């Protein structure tokens, strides 16, 4: 893909990118980091609350309230907490990789659909599993223990589903909305980006609950029926919590990321125009 440049009617057009590679990748990187910074505070509160609720340390709603109080009244302390820094790292790496892979594919005339999904999924799954392991160690029940491979696999599947719905499906859904439902391209992009990541949580939330439960109650003495009972008990409120987490992270975050990229691309386009516009040299002839 080339540069996303805004038009007068609020839509955007794609134009060829002839900028220096370093300039393009800087724009993509800064867009990803800035987006992650904006969405990470609320996401870190939700993630911590989900983990402490699953371990029985603190119920979900009080944990969210306490996190919000800390963020509002002790913001510097909040931003120094490992729970926030882990989340910022996860989303920064995910958005930066997705943006840069798309940019590199566009400059080399490669369809970014699969490379973008694969690279961003590997990045997000790796970072998220490390984050989940750290959260389980910090906020889990009992002594520190290794993460079971079953939990790691469940978390990896959960995150791959979210990445698929955040970076691959919105584009495909937007095309359908534009073609079959008379959406403008801008409205189709926003609608699909907001809805797709949230909708996939209906399917991925059970994997999340089961992964945490296996970590907190690891052992052959726990029957699968007991785990199903626990999943049923925790499903609705965990789903609501994960929707509350994913909506800002990849719904609103996805929209913000695209807008930041578009602004950066417009700047690059203006820079290209200023460098390629004709310059005229005035020659004064001296006559004897």
**β pairing state of 3-6 and 12-15:** antiparallel
Confidence at residue 4, expressed as pLDDT on a 0 to 100 scale? 57
Does the pTM of the predicted model rise above 0.85?
no
Report mean pLDDT in 10-residue bins for the chain, 288 residues: 52 68 92 96 88 81 93 95 94 96 88 92 90 78 76 90 94 91 88 96 94 81 89 92 90 93 84 62 42
Q: CA–CA separation, 267 vs 262, rounded Å?
A: 9
C-alpha torsion 138→139→143→148, nearest 10: -90
Confidence at residue 215, expressed as pLDDT on a 0 to 100 scale? 82
Q: CA–CA separation, 187 vs 226, rounded Å?
A: 45
- What would the two tokens of residue 72 be? 């509002």
Q: 63 CB contacts (<8 Å, ≥6 apart)?
A: 48, 49, 52, 53
> Distance of alpha carbon 79 from its chain centroid, rounded?
19
Confidence at residue 287, expressed as pLDDT on a 0 to 100 scale? 43
98, 122 contact by CB (below 8 A): no
| pLDDT tens digits along 66-102 | 999 999 999 999 999 999 999 999 999 999 999 999 9
| pLDDT tens digits along 129-172 | 788 778 777 877 666 677 788 988 998 899 999 999 999 999 89
Confidence at residue 141, expressed as pLDDT on a 0 to 100 scale? 67
Confidence at residue 285, expressed as pLDDT on a 0 to 100 scale? 39
Confidence at residue 263, expressed as pLDDT on a 0 to 100 scale? 87
């Amino acid at each position: 893909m080339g540069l996303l440049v805004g038009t007068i009617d609020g839509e955007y057009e794609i134009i060829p990118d002839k900028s220096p590679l370093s300039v393009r990748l800087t724009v993509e990187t800064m867009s990803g980091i800035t987006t992650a910074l904006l969405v990470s505070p609320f996401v870190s509160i939700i993630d911590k609350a989900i983990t402490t609720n699953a371990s029985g340390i603190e119920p979900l709603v009080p944990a969210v309230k306490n996190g919000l109080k800390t963020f509002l009244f002790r913001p510097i302390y909040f931003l120094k907490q490992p729970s926030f820094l882990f989340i910022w790292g996860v989303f920064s790496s995910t958005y930066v990789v997705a943006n840069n892979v798309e940019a590199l594919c566009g400059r080399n005339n490669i369809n970014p659909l699969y490379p973008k999904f694969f690279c961003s999924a590997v990045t997000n799954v790796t970072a998220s599993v490390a984050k989940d392991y750290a959260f389980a160690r910090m906020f889990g029940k009992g002594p520190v223990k290794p993460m079971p491979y079953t939990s790691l696999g469940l978390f990896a599947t959960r995150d791959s589903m979210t990445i698929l719905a955040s970076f691959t499906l919105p584009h495909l859904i937007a095309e359908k909305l534009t073609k079959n439902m008379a959406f403008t391209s801008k409205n189709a992009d926003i609608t699909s980006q907001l809805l797709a990541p949230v909708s996939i949580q209906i399917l991925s939330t059970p994997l999340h609950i089961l992964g945490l439960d296996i970590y907190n109650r690891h052992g052959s003495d726990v029957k699968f029926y007991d785990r199903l009972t626990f999943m049923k008990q925790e499903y609705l409120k965990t789903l609501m919590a994960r929707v509350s987490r994913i909506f800002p992270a990849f719904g609103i975050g996805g929209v913000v990321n695209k807008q930041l990229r578009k602004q950066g691309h417009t700047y690059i386009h203006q820079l290209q125009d200023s460098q390629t516009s004709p310059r005229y040299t005035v020659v004064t002839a001296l006559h004897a």
